[in-house]
A and B are shown apart, each in its own frame.
Chain A
Amino acid sequence: MEFKTVLTTCPYCGCGCGLLLEILDGRLIGTLPSKTSPVNQGRLCVKGWSVHEFVTSPNRLIRPLVRKADRLVESSWDEALDLSARRLKEIKERHGPDSIAVLTSAKCTNEENYLLQKLTRAAIGTNNIDHCARL
């Protein structure tokens, strides 16, 4: 038996509230505000209080999907990644790197954003990268 709380940062608005995820035997069972966070000092809004709900939703994607005969069907990681890389390479070769555009995410981590812009600029060779800061 294991129960612990893990301190992390709210995935919703830009306040960046500190929250504690309650973990019982590897399962996420609830959320508490961090009392010691300088931002929210033990408070959360209604969205922050409910983060465990979407994380554990049965609707989560759990496997890659690939379009076949106009339907998205489950596939292996190798198949999905190989296909993606092949198509992107073909398009880059035929139409040049600026024919590819990338939207990175205001919901992902700094590290992921950094890597995706690096991929866009260094691996694809275009500056066509943006995210929805404007939205």
Chain B
Amino acid sequence: MTNSIEEIESADCILIFGSNTSIAHPLIATRVFRAKARGAKVIVADPRKIPIVLQSDLHLQHRLGTDVALINGLMHIILKNGWERKAFISERTENLEEFRKVVEKYSPDRVSEITGVPVKDLETAAQYYAKAERGSILYTMGITQHTTGVDNVKSLANLSMLTGNIGRESTGVNPLRGQNNVQGACDMGGLPNVYSGYQPVTDQAVRQKFEEAWRAELSARVGLTATEMFPAALEGRVKAMVILGENPVLSDADSHHVEKALEALDFLLVIDIFNTPTSDLAHVVLAGASFAEKEGTFTNTERRVQMVRKAIEPPGDARVDWRIIQELSNRLGYSMDYDSPRAVMEEIARVTPSYAGIRYDRLQGDGLQWPCPSTDHPGTKFLHQGKFTRGKGLFSAIEYKPPAEVADEAYPFQLTTGRIHVHYHTGTMTRNSPSLEREVNECLLEINPEDARELGIGEGDRVLVSSRRGSVSTRVKLTETEKRGTVFMPFHFFESRANILTNPMFDPVAKIPEFKVCAVKIEKMETGSAR
């Protein structure tokens, strides 16, 4: 996030884009509720009528995958009315004219036609956001999990720069990170192109620094992304994989394909705390420790580094993961000799400028938000104050492109996927929590009651949902949450794997698959034919 969680409370307009906030980030929803109680305007742009819509002043229920068109449409209205912040634009940004040329093509009528949002609502939304003193944008996977994910994010950045809603308190473009330590995994260099602190592996000076620090020769070639690893395994270019605490068989698009790829490996090592559909395919499974059994740090979505403290011993013979990694490294002939996670953090601080000031002793109390470049630096509440990382903020001219797969005669529904309130990701943890499992213990395909009636489907009936990649059976729930033509499935359930259906086509830059739209058909199954 460019800004902090507590700042959301003081925004006077909040634009929630593709984020099921009260379900996926409940404690951020709290701040939205408070802003609303203080009189902020809340706009929800989402194809589904998610619970936070009840708390909004305006719901833009655009068609799946039409985000760029919608955002361009809002910016068109802003420019036409002269609501842009001219001083901010001239001082802090560049490329407005190129950008204006593209945005000019997105008249309200055309945008309304593409997105299905009434012109009047487009105008109200543009006005609320542009006129806000402190406008804050919140977004999640509803924006990024598309073949146009990067375009979507850039479009939101355009919108914030156009209205000067960035670089100040309670503004910003704020991605809410879905998993507790996604932020930290990125910060720590769990990415194929950068070391910790986003230092590129292709930069010779950087590489040399790490070669000296680590006393090893390092590769200058950018590695494979997760979405590229599986095809590479099928083609035989990747022969072995090590998977720490992830479950790609359930979490990745086109599940069957992932399974085949993992089966094709000569060697698969999985480290996890439970058996999962992924560990079932492994040659070796190592029993790791849960968060309650180890010391370390997590970095939350507002870049706050916080302590994880050991409360109990790992069960049985299970071991803490940092020790497992260290022992494996030593056996591979590369020596690691840390006596504690604290010592690891000291090394991280030495080689990572944004974490340079982070020490365990300083993390008592409220933790620290990076960038924290020195041990006397108090941490950073919001980014881009006075200046963008790249100097001037760049307006990107972006055209709308439809999703890679749209509904057609053979597959007449658009499927979107996401989370439900009691479960998390592939359910490895939540489905092993009896009280959560009691609340919801099976996948339910959500469908609009009208659509269901036309298909002759009733509440709780079992259906076969099929895409060009496979079929899954699931029961249905009739709900006005979905608009006609759109259906929703959570991806937590092994019994009804939504990701058998999803489209692995990915964004060319971010390599994020299009989980949020694919075309499916729905057929009622006769009772007894459940599979």
Contact = CB atoms under 8 A, between A and B. Distances in A.
Contacts of A126: 219, 223
B181 A106 contact: yes
B321 interface: yes
A118 B327 CA distance: 13
A122 B439 contact: no
Given A9-B307, A16-B298, A18-B306, A99 B239 contact: yes
B204 to A, nearest CB: 14
B284 A131 contact: no
Interface stretch (B241-249, B386-394, B477-485): B241-249
A62 B28 CA distance: 35
Contacts of A99: 237-240
A110 B436 contact: no
Given A9-B307, A9-B308, A114 B196 contact: yes
Contact of B311 (A28, A89, A101, A134): A28
A29 to B, nearest CB: 10
B180 A10 contact: yes
Contacts of B273: 60-61
Contacts of B226: 103, 130-132, 134-135
B183 interface: yes
B512 to A, nearest CB: 4
Contacts of A80: 284-286
A60 B192 CA distance: 31
A23 B511 contact: no
A100 B239 contact: yes
Contact of A114 (B291, B305, B348): B348
Nearest to B366: A38
B332 interface: yes
Interface residues of B, number: 142
A60 B312 contact: no
A45 interface: yes
Given A16-B180, A111-B341, A6 B190 contact: no
B225 A130 contact: yes
A9 B306 contact: yes
B292 A109 contact: no
A106 B187 CA distance: 11
B315 A60 contact: yes
A64 B315 contact: no
Given A14-B183, A59-B274, A132-B226, A107 B322 contact: no
B332 A111 contact: no
B300 interface: yes
Nearest to B511: A134
Q: Which of A14, A28, A59, A124 has the most CB of B within 10 A?
A: A14
Nearest to A46: B422
Interface in B257-304: 266-267, 269, 272-275, 279-280, 282-288, 290-294, 296-302, 304
A37 B222 CA distance: 39
Contact of A103 (B193, B248, B333): B248
Secondary structure class of chain A's binding surface, majority of residues: mixed
A45 to B, nearest CB: 4
Contacts of B225: 130, 134
Contacts of B302: 16, 39
A62 B272 CA distance: 10
Interface in B8-37: 24-28, 30
B291 A101 contact: no
B176 interface: yes
Interface stretch (B51-59, B81-89, B425-433): B425-433
B240 A117 contact: no
A67 B283 contact: yes
Contacts of A118: 214, 329, 336
Contacts of B307: 7-9
B300 A39 contact: yes
Specify which of A62, A91, A104 lies most central, judged by the most chain B CB atoms within 10 Å of its CB.
A104
A80 B287 CA distance: 10
Interface stretch (B110-118, B227-235, B406-414, B448-456): B227-235
B180 A13 contact: yes
Given A6-B311, A80-B284, A81-B327, A109 B322 contact: yes
A110 B324 CA distance: 15
B188 A113 contact: yes
B205 interface: no
Nearest to A60: B315
19 contacts: A14-B176, A46-B421, A47-B436, A54-B430, A67-B283, A72-B285, A81-B324, A91-B266, A100-B241, A104-B244, A106-B185, A108-B245, A109-B297, A110-B348, A114-B196, A114-B344, A116-B242, A132-B182, A132-B226
Query: Which 4 A-B pairs give the minimum distances between C-beta atoms?
Result: A62-B316, A16-B300, A109-B296, A127-B223
Interface of A: 6-18, 21, 23, 26-28, 37-40, 43-47, 50-55, 57, 59-67, 72, 77, 80-85, 87-89, 91, 94-95, 97-135
Given A98-B221, A131-B191, 19 more contacts: A13-B180, A14-B178, A14-B179, A23-B312, A38-B6, A51-B433, A59-B275, A59-B432, A61-B287, A61-B288, A84-B267, A87-B240, A89-B332, A98-B219, A98-B237, A107-B181, A109-B184, A117-B195, A135-B251
Interface of B: 5-6, 24-28, 30, 144-145, 176-193, 195-196, 201, 210, 214, 216-219, 221-227, 229, 232-233, 237-246, 248, 251-252, 266-267, 269, 272-275, 279-280, 282-288, 290-294, 296-302, 304-313, 315-319, 321-322, 324-329, 331-334, 336, 338, 341, 344-345, 347-348, 366-367, 421-424, 429-430, 432-436, 439, 506, 510-513, 515
